[in-house]
Structures are given as structure tokens and as C-alpha cells.
Amino acid sequence: MFKLYLLVLTISSYLISTIDLSLGRFDDLQWLDLNGELSLDISDVKTASLDFGGMNRVEPLAVLYPGSVNDVVSLVKSAYDSSESISRGGFTVSAKGHGHSINGQAQTRNGVVIDMSGLKGNRFRGKTKPVLGAFNKTGEKYVDVWGGELWIDVLQWSLEKYGLAPKSWTDYLYLSVGGTLSNAGISGQAFNHGPQISNVYELDVVTGKGELLTCSEDKNSELFHGVLGGLGQFGIITRARIALEQAPQRVRWIRVLYSDFSVFTQDQEYLISLHGKPSSEKFDYVEGFVIVEEGLVNNWRSSFFSPSNPIKISSLNTGEGVLYCLEITKNYDESTANTIDKEVEALLKKLNFIPSTVFTTDLPYVDFLDRVHKAELKLRSKGLWDVPHPWLNLFVPKSRMADFDRGVFKGILGNKTSGPILIYPMNRHKWDQQSSVVIPDEDTFYLVALLRSALDSGEETQTLDHLNNQNHQILNFCDEEGIKVKQYLPSYNTQEEWKNHFGDKWNMFLNRKMRFDPKHILATGQRIFQPSFISSRGNYQNAKRWQWE
């Protein structure tokens, strides 16, 4: 516990001028009692200015490493109460989890970034151990976790101590709980359990007014639904109550190939229609991806075992040189190990994949969930992880997937890509329409995720400019063809574009903003709302200092 005095913020006039820090802007912070640290360190500021996308760099004025929930409350309350004049203290606040935003969504210019991960000395996250609980009437288990906790740590804690695990996941587990809940959190389990935001019982949220509120379906429900998928616009999640289930011990992991897109999607849609069936009559995870070059098919094949005879796409009569991989899993444990073969065989008999392309492996449940991290370690060893990631994630209506396949997979992409292209369907009724997330207005819609990396390989098709141009081509194609896609992890530069994104939900979104963050101080990196103290000042020079471009 220590007092934060003005002297700490004015180390030298040179530092102040370098980071454009006016003394008045932090007048309200000089007497704050903090358990953590408000850092002006150049390395801390630099780290907070970067994200996984690697395409935007916006330096904050300072970084808060909270030592308690009260630190978050105090900082946001100070921002809310600060003067309307930018020269006397107006500043914004953005919460940053593990830094996996793509387009600078967790950054802020002329504001403070709260590092929710607690990675600097594990200052707070190490103190906020998950807490197991159960509802008295239903007996359903849950875990209460800090908003900056990583999903991998939630999994390891709940599994090792109690044999339990959250129901719904993302493909990559080194993401913060608050970060994924602010977007949706999806993976191959979403067809069955819904996204992660459909598996939350309760939240503690620090609103843009600096109020710490507990919210749920029954208490402060407008805030609860708004924050889930709310892109950080209404509050900072400091605690989440996550639904748990009994965890399986092992996973049967299967991949099969298709050359016909319509057959591939029909099988995927059939599998997600089984969501209401007993566990023995359905798969537990359904995803897929697109293969547009032969190197990729052998890369994923070698992740199962070392092939002695590489697959040739040309030998599979794909016609247009594109393959589609269905990826499915079946969970089991010791009590069901003797029936797993029979259950899998019965399900596979109803599918129409290329018979010679069944690839199977068995592994522990945790190893399957954490599979992407192993790929990350390999990429890091080759210096291929910390590169720009111009990802494009789209929700595409089922009725237009054939058109999307024709125009994008067999058209714009050509026969080169620099990363996986995921494609899998979800059931709309598994999503709570009261949340802030926007999805297509069809019972079934697909995630199409182009998870590509810009590489300095000398190949023009792998450059950042080329991949960004392709992303624009894809969006323009959808617009021209009337394919009503919605961006997942959306990024826009103007409020008009955001209005179009939210459509019928815009007024609800705007009303929630005015209720819970009326001065627009939270998550300005999303570029949805400009801080109110800029427009009230009416000064061109000050507004220019806050410009998004």
C-alpha cells in the first residue's frame, strides 16, 4: 500500500514532454491510495502500446498494475470525475488482458491502460485464487475468477483440484476471462453449449462511472447483458462466475477430408443438429478448416503422426484445388473407453467424407484443449510468432456459404495462404440475444476465420499489404454480393460503420453506453465513441491529439 504523489508523475521535465503528460491531467490521482503501481516506465508503456495484431501502436500515458479491485475503481472514478478540460486532467481508461487484440482495441491514446493480467510480478492475479461454489437448489458448480485470469489457469486449477472444467472454450487458452467475455468466446463446443458468454452466471463490473456493481440475469441485468460481448464499452470485468461441468479424461480427435463444399457443410450442419442428443450420440466438438495448398494438408497430418506418404491434393480429384477438413472430437473416460470405438463408428457412418482420409489420435483432455499453445511454442522457436496478424473473423449466414466459398475460397484467396482458415457452423438459439454481440439473423451461421500471419519471406502473397488488401477484397465482395456478414472481433474506423454493424441493436448499445459510461472514457481503442471532454472542449488541437488514425 503506498501513496501516489505528484512527484512520482513528474520525474523529469524531459520525460513529461516526451510522453506528452500534462501535470493537470493527473491532479486527481496524486492522493489516490493504491495497492498496486501506476507506472510511467518506458518499457511498460511500450508493452501496453502493442498487441497480438502488431499493426497498431498507440502509447498510453501510464500503465496501472492493480493490487486490488479498489485500484481499478479508484482509477476509473478519477477519470470520470476529472475535469472536462483535456489540459486539466481528462483521460481515458482501457483494460488489457493478455494483449491478444488484433487492431488496437485494448490501447488508448492519452490515457491509462490497466494491465489486468497481473503479469508484472504477478502482483494481483496471484492473490486472487479461483473460488469454487455451487448453487444450493440445483447443485450446479461454478468458479469465481479474477477478470484478468487466463483460461489455461482456470482449467488447470478446476481440473486438478476438483476434476471439473468450464463448458465452453476458445481454441487458444492463453487469453483472459474478461477479454473473451467482452467479445463472445467461441470454439468447436459452441454448437452444443453456446459461446462463453452463454456460460456465465454473474459478474462484478467497474462501470465508466467508477461504480463496482455485481450483475446477473436477476440483478443489474441490463449491465450484465451489455457487458457480455460489449467490447469493453460499459465496464471492466473484475470477477466472473463461470459454469463448470465434470471434465472428461481423454479425447478421440478425428480429421476427415472433403472435396465437395456442399457435402462438407451438410455434414457439419447435421452434426451440430445433434446438440440435444445424449452424449453417446453426438460429437463434443465440431470445427473445420479450408486447405488451399498441399503443404497445409501434410502439416496438419503430421500433427497426428509422421506420414511416410504425403497426401497430394491433386490425387483427391478436388477439381478446383481446394479441400475441406472436418475436425471432430469425442470425449471419454475409463468408464466409457470400451464403447468409444462403437460410438465413433456409428457417427462416422452417417458422414460422406473421402473414405481414405480418416486420421485419428487419442490424447488427454487438457492436451487437446491446449493444442494451439504447442503450435505457438514451435512458431516462437522459429521467430514466427511476433509478426503482424491481419486476421479477419466473419459470421456468415448459412444461406450464403456456397456463394462465399465460390467468391473467396475458390476466388480471392487463389492457391496461397499464410495461416489456417477455420470454418464451422453454430446454432443461433445457443446465443442470448440480450447480449451486445451481433450475429446473422439465421438459425445457423458460420464462423469463417482467416488467421493469417504476415511474413518477411520474400513472397508477395505473405506481406502485410497483400493480406490486408485481400481482407478488403473479401469484405467488398460480401458487400457487393449482398452477403450480410458480421465481423467477429470487429474493427471499424467511423461511428457510421459501427451503426451499420450493430444494425437494430445500435440504439440499445447507445443507451447502454449513456447509462454506464456517459463520458465515453472506456475502451476508446474500439473507435466507437469519442471521449466527451473532447467535444465539450471544442478545440481542434486537443481533438487532433486524440485522433484515432
* CA distance linking residue 545 with residue 542, whole number of Å: 5
List Cβ neighbours of 444 (8 Å cut-off, separation of 6 or more): 269, 272, 398, 425, 426, 427, 428
Q: Which amino acid is at 292?
A: V
| ∠ CA 174-179-180, rounded to 5° | 75
List Cβ neighbours of 523 (8 Å cut-off, separation of 6 or more): 94, 95, 105, 106, 108, 231, 232, 233
Q: Is the dihedral of CA 275, 280, 285, 289 positive or negative?
A: negative
Distances in whole angstroms, Cα of residue 422 to Cα of each of 76, 97, 249, 448, 476? 38, 24, 26, 6, 20
The label of the residue with cell 446477473 reads 216
Q: Which amino acid is at 452?
A: R
Distances in whole angstroms, Cα of residue 513 to Cα of each of 58, 132, 436, 520? 23, 32, 11, 7
* CA distance linking residue 495 with residue 430, whole number of Å: 29
CB count in 10 Å sphere of residue 518: 13
**CB–CB of 101/178 below 8 Å?**
no
Active-site positions read: 100, 171, 287
The residue length of the chain stands at 549
In 3-state terms, what secondary structure has residue 460?
helix
C-alpha cell at 292: 488451399
